[in-house]
A and B are shown apart, each in its own frame.
Chain A
Amino acid sequence: GAGVSQTPSNKVTEKGKYVELRCDPISGHTALYWYRQSLGQGPEFLIYFQGTGAADDSGLPNDRFFAVRPEGSVSTLKIQRTERGDSAVYLCASSSGGATGELFFGEGSRLTVL
């Protein structure tokens, strides 16, 4: 597609529920990143994929968070047993893997846990 697409743009859920957030990267981009941005903060690194595999998942806060990219394109971030502290904007970015490593960001999925 023309840009990075994230769905849903807005998700309100109740504490304890399961949530999936989807990212459709720019076609042909091999690298895909997930970040979390809370109000007034910078993007906090969660995980990054090179192709289908997670190259670095050191930013995932705990085992309630999991992400997949089974075919090396679309990725899904999965959050189990959501907590109020999970409320944030979840940003996805993709990169062609070129020398400069420029990231192209989607507009984010705003998650609110009540």
Chain B
Amino acid sequence: GEDVEQSLFLSVREGDSSVINCTYTDSSSTYLYWYKQEPGAGLQLLTYIFSNMDMKQDQRLTVLLNKKDKHLSLRIADTQTGDSAIYFCAERVNRDDKIIFGKGTRLHILP
């Protein structure tokens, strides 16, 4: 079955890098996503990676994919207070385009 796991909390000092990790179970996943949810707001797509890639960089964001271990990570460089949010890992299951989300990692920024 499909399952996406991620740690629930991460605290990082302002200016440091944040690394949020995720594991998934379905080997037929085509796309993997990171969504961001700020307090009182809807989920928004932050970045994504296609399953035949192992890395994607987009400004302060770096996504690493280890398909063999079914492990995805999101690195945020120079973490700012505005990065404080819940980050959801999600996978698109190829056979029916269903998108499954993890429970989310709450990123807390320390001054």
Q: Which residues of A contact B (CB under 8 A)?
A: 4, 31, 33, 35, 40-45, 48, 50, 55-56, 58, 91, 93, 100-103, 105-108
- Partner of A100 from the list B43, B48, B102 (CB cut-off 8 Å) is B48
- Flag if A103 contacts B99 (CB, 8 Å): yes
- Partner of A103 from the list B4, B45, B96, B102 (CB cut-off 8 Å) is B45
Contacts A42-B104, A107-B42 given; does A101 touch B96 at CB 8 Å = no
- Partner of A101 from the list B88, B92, B100, B103 (CB cut-off 8 Å) is B92
Measured as residues with beta carbon below 8 angstroms from the partner, the interface class of chain B is 20 to 34
Determine the distance from Cα of A101 to Cα of B31 in the docked complex, in whole angstroms. Answer: 8
Shortest A25–chain B CB gap in Å is 13
- Flag if A43 contacts B43 (CB, 8 Å): yes
Contacts A102-B45, A102-B48 given; does A33 touch B99 at CB 8 Å = yes
